[in-house]
Amino acid sequence: MEIRADIVLQAVLKSFSDVILPALDSSNRLAQEQGQLMLSLLTLLKDRLPLQYEYDRDELARLLALWDELQVTSNDDGLVAKVGEFQTILESAEIAPCELFEAVVGMRTIISKQVEQLPSDPRHSWDGALKAVLSSAREQHMRERSWLLIQGWESDPDSVPTIETLIRFKNIKAPAR
């Protein structure tokens, strides 16, 4: 028998909402609140799980584009090779989700280190780099707000695009190498 995460989550949600929540003491506000929070988190997990891989691919493409936009020139051959490896991972259709996520984390780390060095590097325009980093951060922040939209934290949810429109990988072109 194959245990699929989507089916397991659906069963857990059904059990939680039909059996566990009604069994909680209705006079215990904290238990009721935590029960509803757990139900919301499980629902979020069930709804977002199918999008996680594309979300990570989208983020890696954006980070590689930011790397190109920063026009980073590095004398560190290991660093350049690692960025090339992450580009290959992005282009690979058979990459495992955990490898993809590791590439996203690795690319975040590389960009962070390079951005820290920009102010002391006379070859780069700090203003241009700052604009690129802020633009990238704004996009990522919107993706994260959209990712959690289902939880109801937004005061104007209609002003936040759906996550599906923000991570359609076909809309993100991988930078040319």
pLDDT in tens, 30-73: 999 999 999 999 999 988 888 888 889 899 999 999 988 887 66
- Separation CA 123–CA 72 (nearest Å): 9
What integer pLDDT is reported at residue 121 of this predicted model? 72
What integer pLDDT is reported at residue 170 of this predicted model? 52
Give the structural domain span for 38. 5-50
What integer pLDDT is reported at residue 174 of this predicted model? 47
- Separation CA 171–CA 177 (nearest Å): 18
pLDDT in tens, 86-130: 999 888 867 888 888 889 999 999 999 888 888 777 777 778 888
**Is 131 within the bounds of a domain?**
yes
**Is 177 within the bounds of a domain?**
no
> Model pTM?
0.63
**Is 42 within the bounds of a domain?**
yes
Q: Both 45 and 60 in a single domain?
A: no
- Most distant CA atoms of the chain, gap in Å: 65
* pLDDT confidence tier of residue 3, bands split at 50, 70 and 90: low
Q: Both 34 and 94 in a single domain?
A: no
What integer pLDDT is reported at residue 79 of this predicted model? 83
Q: Both 62 and 115 in a single domain?
A: yes
Q: Both 45 and 86 in a single domain?
A: no
Q: Both 88 and 132 in a single domain?
A: yes
Count of domains for the chain: 2
Q: Which token pair is 8?
A: 């397991």
Which string of DSSP letters, residue by residue, matches the chain?
A: ----HHHHHHHHHHHIIIIIHHHS-TT-HHHHHHHHHHHHHHHHHHHHGGGHHHHHHHHHHHHHHHHHHTT---S-HHHHHHHHHHHHHHH-TT--HHHHHHHHHHHHHHHHHHHHHGGG-TTS-HHHHHHHHHHHHHHHHHHHHHHTGGG---SSGGGS--HHHH--GGGSPPPP-
